[in-house]
Amino acid sequence: MSPPSERGGGIPVLRDIDGTPIRFGARVEQIAVNEEHGAQALRLHEQGQVIGRDYELVCLRFDRDGHPGVLRPDLVRVLTTDGG
């Protein structure tokens, strides 16, 4: 049986550029630039940890400076899914 978020209840599953589900606590890397959607060139290839999400965006804390960022899921790649 699919999870509730894929059956129509709760927040939908967000997936990265490769189709990998993006879970809370996952490690991700910004893999594209799209300044209109928060993906700045200075953060290209920067890694961080997912600290939140909504119906269309992923919120992460970048490793380098600890600042949060909000990106579309198709602008990141999941590195790990276990939060570590």
The answer, yes or no, to whether residue 82 has pLDDT greater than 60, is: no
Distance separating alpha carbons of residues 48 and 15, to the nearest angstrom: 16
Distance in angstroms (rounded) separating the CA atoms of residues 31 and 44: 6
When computed from its CA atoms, the radius of gyration of the chain, rounded to whole angstroms, is 12
pTM above threshold 0.85:
no
Domain positions in the chain are 14-80
Which one is the CATH code of 14-80: 3.90.180.10, 2.40.170.20, 1.20.1250.20, 2.30.30.30?
2.30.30.30
- Categorize the per-residue pLDDT at 61 as very low, low, confident or very high, splitting at 50, 70 and 90: very high
The burial of 78, by beta-carbon neighbours within 10 Å (0-12 exposed, 13-18 middle, 19 or more buried), is given as buried
How does pLDDT run across 5-52, given as a tens digit for each residue? 444 567 789 999 999 999 999 999 999 988 777 788 878 899 999 999
Task: Please report the pLDDT score of residue 71 as a whole number.
Answer: 93
Separation CA 23–CA 82 (nearest Å)? 8
Residue 34 corresponds to which amino acid? N
Six token digits for residue 82 = 């276990």
